[in-house]
Each structure stands twice: as C-alpha cells, then as structure tokens.
Amino acid sequence: MFKKPKRNFRARDFQGDDNEEGDDKVETDPPAQKLQVPKKAAKEKKAETVKQSMLSFGEDWDEGDDGEVFKVKKSAQSKKIKKQMTLEKKKKKEPKPEIKETKPAEKVITVNDAVTIKIKNPIAGPVPGKILNGREAEVANYEGSESDEEDGPNSHKFSHPDHVKFLLKSGHIPDANLIHEARKRRQKAREMGDFIPLEESAKTESTEDKSRLIREDAEDSEEEERINMAGIRSQKLDKQERREAFDAAQQSENEEDLDGGEEDEWENQQIRKAVSGAQLAAVQQESMFMQQYMNSVQMLPQVPSFIPTVPVAPVTIAPTPDLDAVFTTKPLVFEGSSITQNPQSVVKLLRERLTSLEEVHRRHKLDRDALKHELQSLAEENERCKAETPNLAQRFRFYQDLRGYVTDLVECLDEKIPILVELEQRMLNLYGKRAQELISRRRQDVKDQAEELSMSNSRLGGGVLKRDEVKARRAAEREGRRIRRVRARETKSLGKHVDGMSSDDEVTEREAANFRSQKETIEQDAVRLFEDVVEDFSSVGGALRKFNQWRTEDKTAYCEAYVSITLPRILAPFIRLDLVSWNPLLANGGDLDQYPWYKSLMLYGVHQGETEEMLKEDVDVQLVPRVIEKIIIPKLTQLISSCWDPMSNSQTLLLVTLLTHLIQDHPTLGPESKLLTSLFGTVIDKMKDSVENDVYIPIYTKQTMETNRWGPFFQRQFASAVKLLTNLVRWQGLISDTLLGQVAIDPVLNRYLLMSLRTLEPIEASIKCHTIVNVLPRVWLHPSCPLTQLKPFLEFTKTVGKQMDSTSSMAREALNNINKMLKYAS
C-alpha cells in the first residue's frame, strides 16, 4: 500500500587497504593454485560447473572452490566511483583493466602476468556474475552493462506499449486516444503496486529471491541515474552498437599488447640467463668508445685509403630493461672513401679551416681586449667613487640641513602670514580712512558754497540768509583753514598764489594725534611678529645667507631648482612686514633704497672679481626686478585705490616720480607685466571718479559774474579744474596719449574749462588760455600730435586773439602770448 522510506546503508569503502581483513581478493597459491572468493551475507551461493580448467597446474575448478560465484551489488556510491574512474582513464589514457569477454558464455579473468582463469557458463537462465576478487569484481561490474541486476523469472512484467513507442519513433504526434491509453497503462501499474521503467534498456525485474533491501538499493541507484527524455530509441541503439564495437576493438588491442609484452619479457629473461653483468658492462663501454671514434672520423676530411673497406656487421644484443639506451644506438659501420682527393684539395680545406679558426681567435682577442678595457674603466670608476665619497657625504649632510631649514621656514611663514595680512589691512584702512575724510570734506565744501550762492541769488529781498548750525560750523572751519594757509604762504615768502590751487588737507590736532597713535600701535605689532624666531627665520638677510651658501656649494643644483624664481615668494613676507607703514603718497614716506632688505637684494650673489659678462649670465640678475614686480607693485596698487587723491599735486607728483623711477630701473616692468597693467587700470578709475565728482564750474552771465559773491567762487573752481587737468596730464609718458585724451582732455578741458572761457572777456580769456597751455605737454601742441581733442581749444584761442584790442598794453601782452602759442602749434 505505502512505499517504505529510503534507508541509508553503509556503502563499501573503496579507499580501504587491500590487506585489511575481510577484503575480497584472489590469491594464487603455488602448491594448491586455488582461487578463493569470500562470501557475502546479502547474496546466495550459486554453483557452476566448469567444463575445462584453464589453470597451468591442471587443477579443475570443482576441486578448488566448487565454482561458487558471487554477484556484487551496485550502489549509488559505486555509480559515482565509476564515473570518476572513467574520467581519470580519459585524462591519463591508460589501458582498461585486463578483463576480456571472448564469448557470450565464456569469461576470461587475468589475475597476474602468469595466471589466467577462464569460466564458462553453459547453464541457460539469468546471466551469472563474474568471478573476480573484491576490488576488481566491482570495477568489472562498472564496465559492464548499465544494469546487472535483472528480475527473476517469476516476477510480474508489464507489457510494453510497443505500438505507442513505434508511433513515437516514427515521428507521429500522439492524439487524445494514444494519450488516454498511456494513462490507463500507468493507472494499472499503480494498482498493481509496481512501476513502469523510463527506458527500455534499463528494465527492472523483481524476484522473490531478492530481499527488500536489495530492491530499495536498486530503486535508489535508478533514481540517481540521468533520464534521457529527448532521444529516439533508434539513435540510442546506434550509440550502443558503436560503443560495443569500440570496446571490442580496444580489447583486441589489449590482447595483442599483452602477447607482445609476454614475448619481450621472455626474451629479457633469456638474455639475463645467458649474459652476465660484467659482459654487459664491457660491451657497453666498447660500444661507447667505438661511437666516439666514428664521430671523430666523420668530422675529418676524407682522404684516399689503400685499405679496402669491409662492412662490419652490426652488433645487436637483446635489450634489457636497464640497458635499452645502450643497445638502441645505430650499428657501427666503417665507411671508406669512394672519392679520390689530391693533396692540393686537402691543403685547401686545411687552410680554410685554419682561416676560420684564426677569425674566431681574432674575435676572441677583441672580446678579451674589450673586457680588459671595461675592467680598467670600472676600476677607475670605483677609485673615483671612493675619492668622492667624503665629498658626497658632506654634500648629503648639507642638503639634509638645507631641507630641514626650508621645511621649518615654510612652517614658520605659514603661521605668521595670516597675522601679517591683518596688520597690512589695518594700516591700509587707516590711510584710506584719512584720505576719504579729506576728499569728502572738500566735496562737501564745494557743495555748501554752491548752495549758498544759489540761495542768495534766488532771494528776492535783502534779508539775512539763514543757515543751519552744521553748515555754519563747516563754513567757519573752511574759512579758518583758508586764512591759515594764506598766513603760512606769507611766512614762507612764496610768490603769487592763485586761489584754488592749494590742497585743503589740514586736519585738527586731535585727529592727527589719533592717527599717529593708531599707526604706532600697528608698527609695534609688526615688530613683535617675529620676536619668537631667530634671525635666519625673521629677516631677508638671514634667509639670503642660507640660499647664498647653497649657491656657493652647488650652483648647478641651485639653478636646476629654479631658486631664483621662487626666492621672491620666500622673501615676500619679510619685505611686506618692513613695508607695513610705507606710504609713497606722503612726503616722508621714504624711498625703497633706504630699506635694509633692498641693499641685501642688490648685493646677493656678488663676489670680488665679478665682471659685467658674469653678471649677465647670473641667474639672480633679475632678483630685484622680480621683487619689485611681485611685491612692490601690488602694494602700490592697494595704496592708489585707497589713499590717492588726484586733486592733490603733492601725491600725484610723488606717485608719478616713483613709478617712473621703478619702470626705468627695472626691465621686468613693461607692457607685458600684468601687475603693472592692473596698477594703471586702478589709476584710470581714480581719474574718472575725480573728474565726475571734483570738477564744478558755475556758468552765469557776465553781469552775474561781475558781482563780488560769484567772482571769487568761479575763480577758485576754475583754478581747481586746471589743477586737476595738471595732475592728469602728469601721467603722460606712463599712460598712452589716447587714453589720457579720453580721460582728461575731453571731459575736463572741452566740457568744463572751454565752456567757462566762452563767458569771459577776451583779455581774461586769453590769460586763462595761456595758463592752460602752460599745463599741457609740449608734445601735444606739435602739429604731428595725433590728439584731435585739442582742436576746439586751439580754434577758440585764435578767435580770442582776433577779438582783442591791440591798443591796450595788457591786450598786446596777451596777444603776444597767444601768437607764440599758435606759432608753436602751427
């Protein structure tokens, strides 16, 4: 009713020792020559009658072990071992075990090289098992048919659906009836408690003699077998026939090999009996000597011989397993010369041989000489290296010290640079704040005066003008400063002064004291910045000494390291620290030549006896220009942007003088310098800002200008505009004329000054024109000057000269000045 569960039984151990007790083996005893096979509890004995004995000693099978045959049961582990053994046979290409089947009813078993057992089974019925020892019996059983277990004659067999399989093999597609019939057969098999085999070749028969355990093991092995569901029976039969034919051919080859091996073994035994070891050694030595002699004879040129050549019969000795290599050589034959040669040909051959040997000898001599020369050079190189070892050791120590110094210097500067930047910014803010205060105060004064005059002009009555307290205070301070400037000029006995040309940069004592206090605080902080480091890490001179030592010790490495290019960046923090309070816009700002670091840079690398040619080739000849370009120019750019006032004559003159000196003395400062171009861009921006915010000239009628209120204000503003024009044209030679014409001539001269000149009398206008001409560069008044912006001014000057009255002495003097100006310009 129910299928019992599978049980795992311990399989046979195939890796065990063959000598263990209980193993299956075949033993051949010389006196008795019996074949013993142990019994198994799971199999029954089956006696077989052997018709003819194949043993060499003539004992019948019945006298040995009664012909008992045991069949070895296959298990799942056996199947796996079979597959593994098949793969190993294919890899190693080893022959199969000597198990031969000559006839369907005859089994031949080879136990060793001398004993062969043949068993015949005349009894019809189930195929008997092979009589082998335990290990070989299982191997032989693996190489047999796919299933050695067959059911007994009394077991029930299902009739196979031959017509169904025939239809399937012929390619017929099963219909509903065919499928229904197959299902009925399977249902009947289930009711009978049996199963239907999946393959026709692997039939399963159940007998009453077999036990339940054997049937379950058989079912397990069949479950592990691979089922081929896609093939057709005819293809499988063809494959089986090809396999049987291949096995038969291989077995025949094995029989031939076995026969040949037996013959070789018999011959070797006879040779061992007939020949002793000493004789074999003598023959071997003689054969070796003869072979060497024949090789030497063959290498020599052949000459006629008077000895008749007699072929020597080859000496052949049956090979032994140990001396096969000796007796497999070619037979020794003395060859005679069949071609006659004269002495001249022999001499020619000898000479050719001698020539070739001499050439080889010559090449060997050349190789010897080359090796000698190489050995000599290597010895000299070794001596040179030994001599240079102290120098290199000292050089190594020097570079180690230099590396340590540079590393420490970089770490020190990385720590100090943020503090230095903060100090520079504090000082720049201090200068910028003061400059912006002066500029804002001047612009506010002009605005206050213009508003007062406008209000007084628009007032109808003659009442007193009311001011607020702030404007009144600013006006009082303005007038006080003007009075103090006049007294100072009188004290200095200066010449005639034009009102509006002076700079109003006076500050109170309190503001000056506050400025000085903040400046001193910043300078003290700058001095304390490098208090905690030694001189080599805190000054330009200390750093230059270290690098000058490197330059002296190894100038080649110094040049290859591009120290001359990186040195300005290394020295920049020390130079910037010294220039924290430097301001060239002030009268006492100080020149760069007075600083100690400038002198150290100028004398760096200079030694006695240095010529001009050596200076030109010096890699550090541009050290000072690079420092000026990379350190001084950026510092000047910041000062111009924050502190420079274009309305200040003194600041503009100092700045233009400094830049002219730097550009002329240092060739790196040219149009290609980006830092210098950036500086001039900042200058142009400051000029435009001043033109837009600092120039204001009121334009009124002549009657209004004649009043006492508007006359002085107009004169001061006109003089202020001329002053700005003067400061702008000072940059001629540093900034291009075209750019200066766009910044100074067009907006200042043509827009403000020329329009105000048209409202004046001819004599006054001529005097002011003469003042403007004295401000302009002489190059611009030349006819070849490309500036077209001056043409309106020159045309106006000609018109004024025509309008003047020549009878007045003042007019005649003004007319003469105009004629000189026009003559120079024409």
452-466 pLDDT, tens digit per residue, is 877 776 654 444 555
CB-CB contact of 730 with 653 (8 Å): yes
Distance between CA atoms of 413 and 411, rounded to whole angstroms?
6
Q: Tell me which of 716 and 142 has the higher pLDDT.
A: 716
**What's the pLDDT at 707?**
61
**What's the pLDDT at 408?**
94
Of all helices (H) and strands (E), which one includes residue 47? strand 46-47
Distance between CA atoms of 810 and 807, rounded to whole angstroms?
9
Distance between CA atoms of 774 and 743, rounded to whole angstroms?
19
Q: Tell me which of 608 and 97 has the higher pLDDT.
A: 608
**What's the pLDDT at 521?**
95
For 235-240, what is the mean pLDDT?
75
199 confidence band (pLDDT: 50, 70, 90): very low
Q: Residue 206 above 90 pLDDT?
A: no
For 692-713, what is the mean pLDDT?
77
Which among 208, 210, 155, 204 has a CA at the least distance from the CA of 44?
Answer: 210
CB-CB contact of 697 with 748 (8 Å): no
Strand partners, 735: 732
Neighbours of 428 (CB within 10 A): 18
**What is the percent of the chain where pLDDT is above 90?**
31
**What's the pLDDT at 423?**
95
For 815-825, what is the mean pLDDT?
68
For 736-755, what is the mean pLDDT?
90
Q: Tell me which of 6 and 324 has the higher pLDDT.
A: 6
Q: Residue 400 above 80 pLDDT?
A: yes
Distance between CA atoms of 618 and 558, rounded to whole angstroms?
12
**What's the pLDDT at 30?**
41
Distance between CA atoms of 379 and 373, rounded to whole angstroms?
10
Strand partners, 116: 110
Q: Helix 540-553 vs helix 563-578: angle between axes, to the nearest 10 degrees?
A: 160
Report CA torsion sign: 205, 210, 215, 217. negative
164 confidence band (pLDDT: 50, 70, 90): low
The pLDDT tens digits for 104-149 are 444 444 444 444 444 444 444 444 444 455 555 554 554 444 444 4
Give the per-residue SS3 of 616-639.
HHCCCCCHHHHHHHHHHHHHHHHH
Amino acid symbol at 269:
Q
The position carrying tokens 């009664």 is 66
Of all helices (H) and strands (E), which one includes residue 68? strand 68-69
Distance between CA atoms of 777 and 638, rounded to whole angstroms?
29
CB-CB contact of 312 with 334 (8 Å): yes
**Tokens standing for residue 255:** 């029989």
Phi, psi of 99 (to 5 degrees): -125, 110
Residue 503 CB-density burial (10 A; 0-12 exposed, 13-18 middle, 19+ buried)? middle
Q: Residue 778 above 70 pLDDT?
A: yes
**What's the pLDDT at 44?**
41
Ranges 303-312, 362-371, 556-565, most confident: 362-371
**What's the pLDDT at 230?**
46
Strand partners, 107: 119
Q: Residue 767 above 90 pLDDT?
A: no
804 confidence band (pLDDT: 50, 70, 90): confident
Distance between CA atoms of 601 and 630, rounded to whole angstroms?
14
**What's the pLDDT at 204?**
44
CB-CB contact of 753 with 718 (8 Å): yes
Phi, psi of 72 (to 5 degrees): -85, 130
CB-CB contact of 59 with 52 (8 Å): no
Q: What is the pTM of this model?
A: 0.56
The position carrying tokens 């081929």 is 228
**Tokens standing for residue 574:** 């020390």
Which among 118, 100, 99 has a CA at the least distance from the CA of 35?
Answer: 118
Query: How far, CA to CA in Å, does 193 sit from each of 252, 453, 734?
Result: 46, 135, 120
Amino acid symbol at 25:
K
Alpha helix ranges (H) inside 585-706: 596-602, 612-617, 623-627, 633-643, 649-665, 674-694, 702-705
Range with the poorest average pLDDT among 235-244, 476-485, 769-778: 235-244
**What's the pLDDT at 133?**
52
Q: Tell me which of 773 and 146 has the higher pLDDT.
A: 773
Of all helices (H) and strands (E), which one includes residue 120? strand 116-120
**What is the percent of the chain where pLDDT is above 70?**
63
**What's the pLDDT at 372?**
95
CB-CB contact of 596 with 541 (8 Å): yes
Average pLDDT, the chain: 74
**What's the pLDDT at 59?**
43
